[in-house]
Amino acid sequence: MIFYDTLPELCEQNEIKFRKAIRAGENFVWNVRLVQGQSDLISKLRQDALDYIKSAKEAGQATGILVNADKPRASPVVNDPDTMHNMLSQNL
């Protein structure tokens, strides 16, 4: 908090009165806390998103529907409902 340490000198140089200087310091500290809270929230949301992506990949691998660009499609594309029903009943 480099700026917080130099805040009294900055207030003196700009002829800001004591009460305004105190209020400016409090506002600065509040803003820093607010930014830190938002940063923590974004970090948590990022980790949650990575967990969801990992879960989706694992579910795709487990069910055999994961599509990789390097490999051919793991599940065929079936347009006929009867063929799809037969394929699903065989897997059960």
> What distances in angstroms separate CA 83 from CA 72, 73, 79, 90, one per listed residue?
20, 18, 8, 11
Q: Is-above-0.75 flag for pTM?
A: no
Residue 86 has pLDDT above 90, yes or no: no
Output the pLDDT for position 67: 63
Q: Please tell me the distance from the alpha carbon of residue 79 to that of residue 90, in angstroms, as a whole number.
A: 17
Q: Which token pair is 72?
A: 């051919």
Q: Where are the domains of the chain?
A: 2-91
Q: Please tell me the distance from the alpha carbon of residue 9 to that of residue 24, in angstroms, as a whole number.
A: 12
Q: Which pLDDT band holds residue 42 (cuts at 50, 70, 90)?
A: very high
Q: Please tell me the distance from the alpha carbon of residue 80 to that of residue 88, in angstroms, as a whole number.
A: 12
